Structure 1
Amino acid sequence: MSLDAHMPIGLFDSGIGGLTVLHALRRRLPQEDLIYLGDTARLPYGTKGRETIIRYSQRATQKLVDSGIKMLVIACNTATSAALPTLREQFAPLPVMGVVEPGAAAAVAASRNKRIVITATEATIAGGAYQEAIRRRCPDATVIGRACTLFVSLAEEGWTDGPIAEGVAARYLRDVFADGPEKPDTLLLGCTHFPLFTNALRHVVGPDVHIVDSAATTAQAVETELQRLGLLGEPGRRGVSRFLVTDNIARFMRSGGYFLGEELHRNDVTLVDL
């Protein structure tokens, strides 16, 4: 496998949540071309078994590799938790980045009282990858995982602010962020859908809690790794983004606009089969 700085970065997710990672990459590395694959025919990954998630991740990665990419970003916390080691081994020497390690590192750096809450899908919490990554860096940390599955559906409907979003956030998190000496000081958003709920979450956890966005920290880690490998794109150019989906282009375009904050055009989206 030959890698070149002019090649695009490939990203995949079970659907549209990974667009928050693509958005962060666009802001940090505007010169890079990006190819995003949303496996919308098989979403959500968060309720699937580990072996199924690995199999789906392998197929998505192969599709992106066939398109010619210089780096793979697993823009899905669930897939990162389940499939990262397998993909790194199977597709070497392609550099493969996930969202868990950058997010965990940022959460540990932000926390002062070593009490960290992770919000993620059921599969990500059950897999324990974030908990392990945090405790590896801070063995005496208290780590609390909360599966906030309903956020995924709300995000894809665009219901990320207001009474409904705030009510759901409160139901999931109000007890753990109750004022007192044991209140955590850091909330790690361990699902790529969840940065859209920052305002609603802030309403629940209060102004003194650090909210860590794994999408932004992943973009920073991607830049560092590309620079280390000599694969950064040429500065000054404007990169282009392409989108591949496995089902329902119209819904992807509609919901994807919420995540990117801009309209998606039909010519930018291609239906593919894995």
Structure 2
Amino acid sequence: MQTDPIGLMDSGVGGLTVLKEVQRLLPAENTVFLGDQARLPYGPRSVAEVTTFTRQIATYLRQHANIKLFVIACNTATAAALTQMQAELPVPVVGVIAPGATAAAATTANHQIGVIATAGTVKSGQYQRDIFAADAQSQVVSVACPQLVTLAEQNDLHSGHAQAVVTQNLAAFKGTGIDTLVMGCTHFPLLQDVIQTAIGPDVKLVNPGVATAEKVAAILKDQDLLNVSGQPVTATYYTTGDVAEFNQLASEWLDVKPKTVTHLAVSTLAAVAEVE
């Protein structure tokens, strides 16, 4: 059980930002990541549909990788499916919203917090609820920024065009007085430089991936699931999209080229879940 991998999923490749933090904090752990690029974006989809997709991925990773912990490295899927997956799966399930909200509450000095996320995450109101639970004095301004997901998936992270798009999307925060901004989509830390430029140097950015990795580490330690075998570490990657595109993006964002990326058909995920 201790040598079993940590499983992570995302609607695309943004969840690699969470994987990177998990691998950095827990270098002895085996990992398996599944990016559902073929069905990106999750943001505009219904809660029921996103929950179905999340269940399919969790089932596949449990059956084929024997994961010991499941990370929903997608804010939209966390908002839609976390509670359901925690009830259904026999392994610990961690989302990215609560850790990010707690980190934001610990970061802010004036209790004015901004959140940028997908439309689905903003509509759910989960960040507001979790931030308020951690800091009852907080005031939260949330803005849906689906165009930033597109920028990240296209690997357009530093261009003048990217800066213009991000600046336009963050204009809604002018005059709000926020001193903290939660990058409430796992794609957004990839755009951290242009986001910081757009929002200004006085606003602190919160990457929920860091806090999520810390929560994963705490759970593994508490449940005596840390890998102490000393065996070589493995990292496995799946995508429902284009393998070459995934490999290129992952190689740049993880600072290490994935040895193998396997394509999974969406029909395979659906079939596995139906059998389950």
TM-score, length-normalised on structure 2? 0.92
Structure 2 residue aligned with 1:85: 83
Structure 2 residue aligned with 1:240: 234
Structure 2 residue aligned with 1:188: 182
- The Cα of 1:139 is off from its aligned counterpart by 2.2
Alignment of 1:1-274 (within 5 A): 4-66=1-63, 67-92=65-90, 94-178=91-175, 182-234=176-228, 238-265=232-259, 268-272=260-264, 273-274=268-269
Gaps of 5+ in 2: 270-276
Structure 1 ranges of 4+ moved more than 4 A: 235-238
* Distance in 1 (alpha carbons) for counterparts of 2:59 and 2:212: 22
Provide closer, same or farther for how the CA distance between residues 165 and 177 of structure 1 changes in structure 2, counting only shifts above 3 A: same
* Distance in 2 (alpha carbons) for counterparts of 1:151 and 1:262: 24
Higher helix share: 2
Q: Secondary structure at the match of 1:5?
A: coil
For the 8 Å contact 1:39–1:247, the answer to whether it is kept is yes
* Distance in 2 (alpha carbons) for counterparts of 1:6 and 1:213: 28
Provide closer, same or farther for how the CA distance between residues 235 and 107 of structure 1 changes in structure 2, counting only shifts above 3 A: farther
Provide closer, same or farther for how the CA distance between residues 124 and 233 of structure 1 changes in structure 2, counting only shifts above 3 A: same
- The Cα of 1:15 is off from its aligned counterpart by 1.3
- The Cα of 1:263 is off from its aligned counterpart by 2.8
* Distance in 1 (alpha carbons) for counterparts of 2:224 and 2:258: 31
Amino acid at match of 1:111: T
Amino acid at match of 2:251: G
- The Cα of 1:132 is off from its aligned counterpart by 0.8
- The Cα of 1:174 is off from its aligned counterpart by 2.9
Aligned length: 265
For the 8 Å contact 1:16–1:252, the answer to whether it is kept is yes
For the 8 Å contact 1:158–1:258, the answer to whether it is kept is no
- The Cα of 1:162 is off from its aligned counterpart by 3.2
* Distance in 2 (alpha carbons) for counterparts of 1:219 and 1:236: 20
- The Cα of 1:169 is off from its aligned counterpart by 1.6
- The Cα of 1:235 is off from its aligned counterpart by 7.4
* Distance in 2 (alpha carbons) for counterparts of 1:156 and 1:261: 17
- The Cα of 1:256 is off from its aligned counterpart by 2.4
- The Cα of 1:158 is off from its aligned counterpart by 1.4
Amino acid at match of 1:145: S
Residue identity (%): 37
Q: Deviation per CA, 1:163-204, whole angstroms, max 9, x where unpaired?
A: 2222112111134144xxx51000001000000111111112
* Distance in 1 (alpha carbons) for counterparts of 2:151 and 2:252: 11
- The Cα of 1:257 is off from its aligned counterpart by 2.6
* Distance in 2 (alpha carbons) for counterparts of 1:160 and 1:14: 19
* RMSD over aligned Cα atoms: 1.4
Q: Deviation per CA, 1:220-262, whole angstroms, max 9, x where unpaired?
A: 1110111111101117655221011223212211222332233
For the 8 Å contact 1:32–1:238, the answer to whether it is kept is no
Q: Secondary structure at the match of 1:10?
A: strand
TM-score, length-normalised on structure 1? 0.93
